[in-house]
Structure 1
Amino acid sequence: MARDDEFSEYVGQRRTQLRRIAYLLCGDVHKAEDLVQTALLKLYVAWPKVRRAGNVDAYARRILVNSGIDESRRPWRREAPGLDGVDVLMDEDFGVEDRRVLIEALASLPIGQRQVVVLRYFVGLSVEETAADLHCKPGTVKSQCSRALARLNDLLTAQFRAVGGTDR
């Protein structure tokens, strides 16, 4: 029972954060919920080992990233999602002026760049922590991050101009 209680407490504290990370990784509310369910199932199975190792959050993030990659490779996941106007964006607590534009720009990034941006800037991990989560070198994180931020800048600047904004 102690195992279940510990796991339930962890899920109660981290579920919202895991949902947000999953949503930023895949860009779809329903896929994000599926990713979180998959991650929690895998985390529960490995709970005693992960708990002893001590870094449960890193393990959970890694499961989300790997599950997202696995799901994107499945052919039925390449279909277009739901009905337009019916699938609404998640209600987020963080203050972004236009979440839809940001999420679309983030979703247009290659998966590796998207993972780096989410872990570095949304989760707030250091370069080394991100590299450890993604099982790559810190230099890879830095280069992916640089490319991703440049691409996001281009996309968001173009979007800003398209709606009549001016450069500062």
Structure 2
Amino acid sequence: MDLRVAALTDAAALARLGADAFVAKFGHLYTPDNLANFLADAHSEAKVAKEIADPAMRVMVAERDGRLLGYCKLVMICGWPEHARAATVIELKQLYTAPEATGQGIGAALMDRAMEEAAAFGAGEIQLSVYSENPGAQKFYARYGFAKVADIHFMVGEQRDEEFLFAKLL
């Protein structure tokens, strides 16, 4: 498996992978309209291309034999400054793997790379949001030293999801 920074030529494949991963894990929770509106906004090719080009973001991909298996995004700006405990806080977003590739160590490899990127950036803390009813993801992040610091929410269309803000001091 190869890990690398995403290129603009990856935007379409990353948009598809993000939508597929989200639907596979969470699609059943939403009405068709809320899901469609969310996917059109959050996982559009144009939005992903804009994120790849944004100097305040790092989009990292995992691939094997030219096929994208997963990705994660680091936002080099604090997403929840009211909960920041360090001077330089970044956000980890969308640590996703292809639905058929879950359990192959891709998430761990991406997390390791994200931690390296955060350290190289000089971050003192990493924040991330995790769905309150996703204990598997919560356990995964806890293995890396993340812990809940606040209750937050996440909107999918017009539906409000209760989430936990997890963070780790570096």
Q: TM-score if structure 1 supplies the norm length?
A: 0.33
| Bigger-Rg structure (1/2) | 1
Give 1 or 2: higher helix fraction: 1
Q: TM-score if structure 2 supplies the norm length?
A: 0.33
